[in-house]
Chains A and B, each alone.
Chain A
């Protein structure tokens, strides 16, 4: 895509064909995919998904054997249905295991309490989006075992955006990791990409919050039912995500408790719904590594933010880079990441364009791989007062407290405080309990060469 020769039209075309390859999966790949689901069938899928022990594969076989989800329920309502369901769950060619009798009995039970389940869905304000529905995410459709239906709070259209990127990481990040997650989240949002994550405490939360802070849509795949939202501390974040036009999505029925097993399964949706996964920080056994592995398996791009070699919060992510040297890519900076994702053109960043070597008017030869260079902090701070400039540069260079800013800039304390307020009002600085960090465009910018 960076071919120097290709004109703008060519680039657009190749982009479109790329997207087509990725986004519209061959229908035959998913056995139970059938377009045009009726409301009754959609409800039936939702009810069947609430049955403990019934996974998407068995459910697919059942639906294939009996014709439709509502037919499955109808069969389950008859006397002596359990045996019939077990038989139906055996694949036509006799391959695969039939489901255990216990699961069949659970289906019968589920069919009997259909009203209660539908009531829960309504009470949580959820929408059921089943395979075949127009807003069922196309990318998810293409993964190996796509969920039969999703329980959705909010709008899914952001998952159909041209660029969808997952940002994941540990639940116990370092302040630096949190900052990087926010920067990446905000930069992606500003570049028009949809950010997907898992609503967990830590990196996930920082990424989601940064996107919401930009007023953009983000999608959270959660590892339990909506009625058992975990962690509860993120109730407000979940509301804010929905308010900002994004969605909180689960493949589990509303009252499903999140458990050890549900989170890794959920992780395949985070990577599956995205084009690329960015791991910010992951400890040695972090679930973020599971997401990254899913990404590689599903053919998604995988980016890893490298960390200090002695930081426990980066042990897993650094190890992943070592284990997959040709597949996992290094994030060397936020603008560089946007560039690698093909987003830099779309980013609303003040970008310094280098002279075009093919343009005779420029009269300069530049030897560089990339045509664009991210904005420098100096460019972002143009037009601001000298004290704001000094304070902004200081923050970009890693100063964090007012003490340090006063000591290094040699400005009077009052000047530093006022500059911080003006930068904060401009969205370029954020205060975090006595520490200050660059935000917005300043966070995405590269430091001015010292």
Chain B
């Protein structure tokens, strides 16, 4: 007998509805799955066989053919396991489904338990858009599935549960217009672990971000960080090891404002697809990703058979922190150009192409030279010219995308004593949030880092004397041609931090401190 059920699979960041047709026919016992499935789909045979046997059902010794339709969509992952298992039971007439059309999503274990799958959220959303009224989902994915409104979510833990649900006569409620709805914003303090923002390979969710008050000194770098975060500017910190570059970067999650509704939804979908563990609600904290410098090209950019999102996508509307920037492979650094330019990344593989969002803010840190001690008296063991070449590894296009540059130096012990009391993260975060609100309120609502060059001139609202000061700075050889726009961009952010409508001379003067080092060739010549 033929059984037809609905399930879903994932293509890049989008869910696709698939029809699971199971035909249990007389003949030589066998189990075939057709329909552009990958290795994990073929392995579903073994999982389903075990799950049925160990749940008290019979895996029928007959000719079983499973077709996943439509045939042109490549299917990956284990999301159709449950539908296949239930399809076999219906096809072999082990029970009769009485409930109306329901879709099933979930991976089965050999013991018959049902586990959640990456991308549950976009899959449920796709089913909702198709008008499905009832979805059976793994219990541990219930919270995630419930982010989608307009359809009934039925959590189940075992294959037996799923059969019981389908057997009952209870029908799904009246159909509602389906939409992905936003869960209420969790109040501060009751944020769940997963929405806590720090979700990175290095910086595990369990560790709360360090507070800026814990960072001693480095006022220059702290200010650079504040300016960069306020305007979404790329930031590069250069300094010897132990000067606090990584520590400063790790304070970022505590400094960024919460995501907007739209960003929040996108971030949650990316988190869901990336399989970062159970999602308890919409992710409100901007992502902070800190991949290690040995990460592969595919890990950073995305790819693989299932077009899995890479770090640039996982950092979408958040921060991508590249510690030891110069140690990343050249391919990886070059691949950052497109996302930095367009805010998205296009991955083309044999299995298809996908364009994924990648509007991340780049924060990077590097040592000044391979040994790390350039500029420190008698400590650098690098050969002549090596330090210059080291930072020179950052290619021109990437340099152009970094608006804020700052050098950190080891502090002298005697200077530590007189140090000013550092500000706490909450104080700085409030200023950043305010500056961002000002930028979002403008037409287009873009952060200064992503405003076009022409729009920038208008936003700067330079008075004639300020324009003259800008020209003076350029004439003093503090700026290159391209540097002028960069200076104006950063000055706009400083003015926003200052709640100033126009960019004033003082903002330009501060912005000049954040320009890349060594723009004066003559001074950079002496090695």
Interface set of A (CB-CB < 8 Å, partner B) = 171, 174-176, 178, 182, 201-202, 205-206, 208-210, 212-213, 231-234, 236-237, 240, 312-313, 400-404, 406-408, 413-414, 417-418, 420-422, 424-427, 430-435
Q: A417-B510, A435-B409 are in contact. Are A403 and B419 (CB under 8 A)?
A: yes
Among B223, B512, B522, the residue within 8 A (CB) of A213 is B522
| Residues of chain B in range 459-485 having any CB-CB distance to chain A below 8 Å | 472-473, 476, 478
Among A176, A422, A426, the residue within 8 A (CB) of B377 is A176
Pairwise interchain contact A413-B223, C-beta atoms closer than 8 A: yes
Note all chain A residues with C-beta closer than 8 A to B407.
Answer: 431, 433-435
- The complex places the Cα of A406 from the Cα of B513 at a distance, in Å, of 15
- The complex places the Cα of A408 from the Cα of B418 at a distance, in Å, of 7
> Nearest A residue to B526 by beta-carbon distance?
A209
Pairwise interchain contact A435-B375, C-beta atoms closer than 8 A: yes
B350 within 8 Å of A (CB atoms): no
Among B415, B478, B527, the residue within 8 A (CB) of A401 is B415
Q: A403-B217, A414-B510, A420-B513 are in contact. Are A434 and B525 (CB under 8 A)?
A: no
Note all chain A residues with C-beta closer than 8 A to B523.
Answer: 209, 213, 430
Q: A404-B412, A414-B510, A418-B509 are in contact. Are A231 and B374 (CB under 8 A)?
A: no
- A171, A176, A234 interface centre (most CB from chain B within 10 Å): A234
B27 within 8 Å of A (CB atoms): no
- The complex places the Cα of A417 from the Cα of B409 at a distance, in Å, of 16
B207 within 8 Å of A (CB atoms): no
B185 within 8 Å of A (CB atoms): no
Pairwise interchain contact A425-B522, C-beta atoms closer than 8 A: no
Pairwise interchain contact A407-B521, C-beta atoms closer than 8 A: no
Among A208, A402, A418, A422, the residue within 8 A (CB) of B526 is A208
**Contact mask B383-396 → A, CB, 8 Å, 1/0?**
01100100000000
Q: How far is the CB of A399 from chain B (nearest CB, A)?
A: 8
SS of A interface (majority):
helix
> Nearest A residue to B391 by beta-carbon distance?
A433
- The complex places the Cα of A205 from the Cα of B406 at a distance, in Å, of 25
New A-B pairs, 9, CB < 8 Å, besides A201-B385, A434-B375: A202-B527, A210-B526, A233-B388, A234-B525, A418-B506, A420-B513, A424-B476, A424-B478, A430-B523
Note all chain B residues with C-beta closer than 8 A to A417.
Answer: 220, 223, 509-510, 513
Q: A176-B377, A402-B220, A404-B412 are in contact. Are A425 and B478 (CB under 8 A)?
A: yes
In the A-B complex, list the 3 residue pairs whose CB atoms are closest, starting with the nearest. A434-B407, A209-B526, A233-B385
Note all chain A residues with C-beta closer than 8 A to B472.
Answer: 425
B219 within 8 Å of A (CB atoms): yes
Among B385, B408, B526, the residue within 8 A (CB) of A178 is B526
- The complex places the Cα of A175 from the Cα of B239 at a distance, in Å, of 16
Q: A176-B377, A231-B384 are in contact. Are A433 and B368 (CB under 8 A)?
A: yes
Q: A430-B523, A433-B517, A435-B375 are in contact. Are A403 and B411 (CB under 8 A)?
A: yes
- The complex places the Cα of A417 from the Cα of B513 at a distance, in Å, of 7
A-B contact pairs, 27 of them (CB 8 A): A178-B526, A202-B527, A209-B526, A231-B385, A232-B385, A234-B525, A234-B527, A237-B527, A401-B415, A403-B217, A403-B415, A403-B419, A406-B420, A407-B419, A413-B220, A413-B223, A417-B513, A418-B506, A418-B509, A421-B478, A421-B512, A422-B509, A433-B238, A433-B374, A434-B220, A435-B375, A435-B407
Among B375, B419, B526, the residue within 8 A (CB) of A237 is B526
Among B220, B509, B517, the residue within 8 A (CB) of A421 is B509
Pairwise interchain contact A174-B526, C-beta atoms closer than 8 A: no
Note all chain A residues with C-beta closer than 8 A to B476.
Answer: 424-427
Q: How far is the CB of B421 from chain A (nearest CB, A)?
A: 11
- The complex places the Cα of A182 from the Cα of B527 at a distance, in Å, of 12
Pairwise interchain contact B385-A403, C-beta atoms closer than 8 A: no
Q: How far is the CB of B98 from chain A (nearest CB, A)?
A: 72
- The complex places the Cα of A390 from the Cα of B218 at a distance, in Å, of 20
Pairwise interchain contact A233-B384, C-beta atoms closer than 8 A: yes
Q: How far is the CB of B217 from chain A (nearest CB, A)?
A: 5
Note all chain A residues with C-beta closer than 8 A to B419.
Answer: 403, 407
SS of B interface (majority):
loop
- The complex places the Cα of A430 from the Cα of B374 at a distance, in Å, of 17
Note all chain B residues with C-beta closer than 8 A to A425.
Answer: 472-473, 476, 478, 512
| Residues of chain B in range 483-527 having any CB-CB distance to chain A below 8 Å | 506, 509-510, 512-513, 517, 520-523, 525-527
B173 within 8 Å of A (CB atoms): no
B378 within 8 Å of A (CB atoms): yes
Note all chain A residues with C-beta closer than 8 A to B513.
Answer: 417, 420-421
Pairwise interchain contact A236-B521, C-beta atoms closer than 8 A: yes
Q: How far is the CB of A148 from chain B (nearest CB, A)?
A: 31
Q: How far is the CB of A406 from chain B (nearest CB, A)?
A: 6
> Nearest B residue to A231 by beta-carbon distance?
B384
Pairwise interchain contact A212-B522, C-beta atoms closer than 8 A: yes
Pairwise interchain contact B384-A414, C-beta atoms closer than 8 A: no
Q: A425-B476, A433-B409 are in contact. Are A237 and B415 (CB under 8 A)?
A: no
- The complex places the Cα of A234 from the Cα of B525 at a distance, in Å, of 7
Note all chain A residues with C-beta closer than 8 A to B525.
Answer: 205, 208-209, 212, 234, 236-237, 240
> Nearest A residue to B418 by beta-carbon distance?
A407
Among B219, B378, B512, B527, the residue within 8 A (CB) of A312 is B378
- The complex places the Cα of A424 from the Cα of B478 at a distance, in Å, of 8
Note all chain A residues with C-beta closer than 8 A to B377.
Answer: 174-176
- The complex places the Cα of A413 from the Cα of B224 at a distance, in Å, of 11
Pairwise interchain contact A404-B415, C-beta atoms closer than 8 A: yes
> Nearest B residue to A207 by beta-carbon distance?
B526
Note all chain A residues with C-beta closer than 8 A to B239.
Answer: 434
- The complex places the Cα of A408 from the Cα of B493 at a distance, in Å, of 28
- The complex places the Cα of A395 from the Cα of B473 at a distance, in Å, of 21
Q: How far is the CB of B424 from chain A (nearest CB, A)?
A: 16
- The complex places the Cα of A233 from the Cα of B392 at a distance, in Å, of 13
> Nearest B residue to A214 by beta-carbon distance?
B522
Note all chain A residues with C-beta closer than 8 A to B238.
Answer: 433-434
Pairwise interchain contact B409-A201, C-beta atoms closer than 8 A: no
**Contact mask B14-48 → A, CB, 8 Å, 1/0?**
00000000000000000000000000000000000
- A205, A237, A425, A433 interface centre (most CB from chain B within 10 Å): A433
- The complex places the Cα of A156 from the Cα of B149 at a distance, in Å, of 84
Note all chain A residues with C-beta closer than 8 A to B517.
Answer: 431, 433
Note all chain B residues with C-beta closer than 8 A to A202.
Answer: 527
